[in-house]
Chain A
């Protein structure tokens, strides 16, 4: 079931596509080594369009690496990766045009204003009516009144909202979020949660890397647990409990702990 998005700017064609769509992500045997260390090992993953998947794992488990690989940003990766039915190899730039990413880093230029940042990135993606789109997104993240202020003058929460707007400038079908709640206060975190819920309702495929199990249970439909670069658990969130996740993480605890 697809819930209607709360904001018109979040509406996307993917939600209403009637035909059988290829998987948003199909990864087969993805591995990555950095020096002598294996950071990702034989990852097999199939994620359908419109799914909200949480990625859990201890620090160093490989969550950020997997997101970087899915975003086509990592080098030295072996295995096969297809996004929306098309292999990424040899056409990474085209694949990136359908990906948005929010990380614990802002991926913004501090000396440019919020609006200038969005317009700059929008132009790189070839967004039509880029200024109107940027203005609408700043309105969506409730920062229209701060549009002309340099990002360095904004609070962490506000800057993160600009980063969310940046990731949505080109209306991506796949949103990769790497611990986006880092450094946010309670209200900003809840606002971001609402935003992710709305984006999911708009039909986007979302992958959220986090440490918070309560958050996973609130937001995601499916959970994938990584331990030492391997997938150790892949199942729906319904009926998920903390012990199961902890066991999949090799006995490590998690934030939250709701059963």
Chain B
């Protein structure tokens, strides 16, 4: 119960800082929209874009926006040694990880709420074919992506490696997630298949494995 309270306090702190500084959400939304618009124009905006391409473009926006989000939320901890203050508290390191993960998810959700409608309008992407399926697949994908990104953002921050390294570390690991997610979308939007199958199982397994593994190794990665 105490750890749940700690997690909620950590999430509230991150969202409070973001609400005050608006440093992350503004950046990731603008980046996400720019990616969708630029890629959309490159593919010839105005006409409908097939579901596979549309979801792939949205994924690109989520990936780059997400990486920026992970870097910025960890940068808050790195500044003035705030992470050391956090680590001095009698809080389980796994709770720190989960708090950070949930805060990142909240920010990515906010980004998706802006970027997705832009993509839908721009690509004339017919979401009405499987709106629930789209939300489920994207939610599962984002959870897995944030699980990996939060872990590696902490590792990069603690090891004082350059922030740009995060994308290089995270993107290859998330490749199974992107492929499974895109295949699911393809099945739903172009082949009329229901939301199910090994792809969905892979997404769920990816989320569970990476959240559990990150919970376990987070302590070893963190050092102020």
- The chain A residues found within 8 Å of chain B, CB to CB, are 68, 71, 73-75, 93-94, 96-97, 99, 101, 103, 105-112, 116, 120-121, 123-126, 150-151, 166
Q: Which of B1-28 contact A (CB under 8 A)?
A: 2, 5-6, 9, 13, 16-17, 20-21
- Residue picked from B9, B20, B79, B89, most chain A C-beta under 10 Å: B89
Q: A95 — nearest CB in chain B belongs to which residue?
A: B90
What is the interface of chain B, defined by CB distance below 8 A to chain A?
2, 5-6, 9, 13, 16-17, 20-21, 76, 79-82, 84-92, 220, 223-224
Let me know if A73 and B80 touch, CB within 8 A.
no
Residues of chain B within 8 A of A107, CB atoms compared: 80-82, 84-85, 88
B17 — which chain A residues lie within 8 A by C-beta?
109, 111-112
- A75-B76 Cα distance, complex, nearest whole Å: 22
CB <8 Å contact, A75 and B81: no
Q: CA–CA, A137 to B130, complex, Å?
A: 56
Interchain CB contact under 8 A, A75 and B85 = no
Contacts of B21 in A (CB 8 A): 111
In the A-B complex, the 8 residue pairs with the closest CB atoms: A105-B81, A107-B85, A124-B89, A93-B90, A97-B90, A106-B80, A111-B21, A111-B17
Judge whether A112 and B220 touch: CB under 8 Å: no
Q: How far is the CB of B98 from chain A (nearest CB, A)?
A: 14
A-B contact pairs, 30 of them (CB 8 A): A68-B224, A71-B88, A73-B88, A73-B223, A75-B223, A93-B91, A96-B90, A99-B88, A105-B80, A105-B84, A106-B80, A106-B81, A107-B81, A107-B84, A107-B88, A108-B82, A109-B13, A109-B80, A110-B79, A111-B17, A111-B20, A112-B13, A120-B9, A120-B13, A121-B89, A124-B86, A124-B89, A124-B90, A124-B91, A125-B89
Q: Which of B6, B79, B85 has the most CB of A within 10 A?
A: B85
- B85 contacts A121, CB within 8 Å? yes
B223 near A74 with CB under 8 A, answer yes
**Complexed CA–CA distance, A150 and B20 (Å):** 10
With A68-B224, A105-B81, A107-B80 already in contact, 17 other A-B pairs whose C-beta atoms are closer than 8 Å? A71-B88, A73-B224, A101-B84, A101-B85, A106-B80, A106-B81, A109-B76, A111-B20, A111-B21, A112-B13, A116-B16, A124-B6, A124-B86, A124-B89, A124-B91, A125-B89, A126-B2
Closest to B91 in A: A124
CA A108 to CA B86, docked complex, whole Å: 9
Main secondary structure of the interface of B (DSSP, over half): helix
Shortest Cβ distance from residue A70 to the other chain B in the assembled complex, whole angstroms: 11
> How far apart are the CA atoms of A76 and B112 in the complex, in Å?
41
Residue of A nearest to B81 (CB): A105
CA distance A120 to B88 in the complex (A): 13
- The CA-CA distance from A121 to B86 in the complex, in Å, is 8
- A96, A110, A124: residue with the most chain B Cβ atoms closer than 10 Å: A124
Task: Report the Cα distance A75→B224, complex, angstroms.
Answer: 10
Residue in A96, A109, A125, A126 whose beta carbon sits within 8 Å of that of B82 in the complex: A109
Give every chain A residue within 8 A of B79 (Cβ-Cβ): 110
Whether A73 and B87, one on each chain, are in contact in the complex, defined by CB atoms closer than 8 angstroms, is yes
A71 to B83, CA, bound (A): 14
How far apart sit A96 and B90, CA to CA, in the bound complex (Å)?
A: 6
B32 to chain A, nearest CB (A): 23
Complex Cα–Cα for A99 and B90 (A): 10
Please, which residue of chain B has its CB at the minimum distance from the CB of A96?
B90
Minimum distance in angstroms from B73 CB to a CB of chain A: 12
Point out the residues of chain B lying under 8 angstroms from A75, CB to CB.
220, 223
Known: A120-B13, A123-B9, A124-B9. A110 touches B80 (CB 8 A): yes
- Cα–Cα, bound, A116→B20 (Å): 12
Q: Do B90 and A94 touch (CB < 8 A)?
A: yes
Residues of B within 8 A of A123 (CB): 5, 9
CA–CA, A233 and B75, complex, Å = 39
Which of chain B's residues have a CB closer than 8 A to the CB of A151?
Answer: 80
CB-nearest residue of chain A relative to B20? A111
Most chain A CB within 10 A, of B20, B90, B91, is at B90
Chain B residues lying within 8 Å of A99, measured Cβ to Cβ, are 88
Alpha-carbon separation in the docked complex, A116 to B85 (Å): 14
Contact B220 A103 (CB under 8 A): no
A107, closest chain B residue (CB): B85
In the docked arrangement, what's the CA distance between A103 and B88, Å? 12
